[in-house]
Every structure is written in structure tokens, then in C-alpha cells.
Amino acid sequence: MGILYFLGRAKSKDNEKALALWRKAANGNQPKAQGAMGDLYYQNDAVILHHCKACGIEKDPVQACVWYKLLEKSARYKGEKTYAANVLKSVTTEMSQDQLAKAEGILAQWKPTPQDCNARKWW
């Protein structure tokens, strides 16, 4: 749903709603949402998929690194894993040792929030 609000497809464009949905999904350990959050914090148009100048998020390589590392850990598909590895290589080369240590500290304490809904069992 976040991507529909972000792109304005089938829903009116609403970056605030898209961000809220992505953040909730990312905190619930959903890989695509974690990648989207990383992109919004990294803001390096040369390597990211999700570009948003009007989202109100300031560039933060520490937060970007955290989300990309979570994506790398929870990725299920080869494309997600490749994307995470490529973007992580880019963001970590721009970070200081203090920033890297701060990201590792956040990762060590991170726990997914419980999901309030699960996939439906159709069969």
C-alpha cells in the first residue's frame, strides 16, 4: 500500500501516508519496506530506487545503513540481496568509523514489532 500512496496509483499521492505504512512494514521486518526506508534516508540518486525530495526526511547515512543491513538480513530473493549488498557498499564507504559503530549499536538493539495482520490462508 505504501508504494501505491507514494506513486499515486489507485490511491491519491500521499507521501506522509506512504511513509507511515513503509515504516510500519519495515519495523515488522518486511524487506521491501526496509529497502524503501533505507533509500529515503540515503538519498543517493545514483544508486537508490525510491526518490522523494518532498518526504521531509533528512539524509542520515546511519539510519540508511541500519535499514539496508536489516534488508540484507531479511531479504528472501536474489534481487533484494543484490540490491542490499550494492547499496550497503556505497553507503558504508561514505560513513566514518563512529557512524558505522552507531549503526551497529542500533542494529544490536533492534527487534521487529509484532505484525497486526498476516497473510491469508486461502487453501
d(CA 113, CA 27): 6
For residue 117, pLDDT beyond 70: no
Q: Encode pLDDT of 12-32 as tens digits.
A: 777 788 888 889 999 999 999
**Residue 59 in grid coordinates:** 539524509
d(CA 59, CA 95): 12
The answer to pTM > 0.85 is no
d(CA 88, CA 92): 6
pLDDT for the residue 26: 93
Sorted by where each begins, the domain ranges of the chain are: 19-109
**Residue 34 in grid coordinates:** 526496509
For residue 122, pLDDT beyond 80: no
The more confident residue out of 4 and 23 is 23
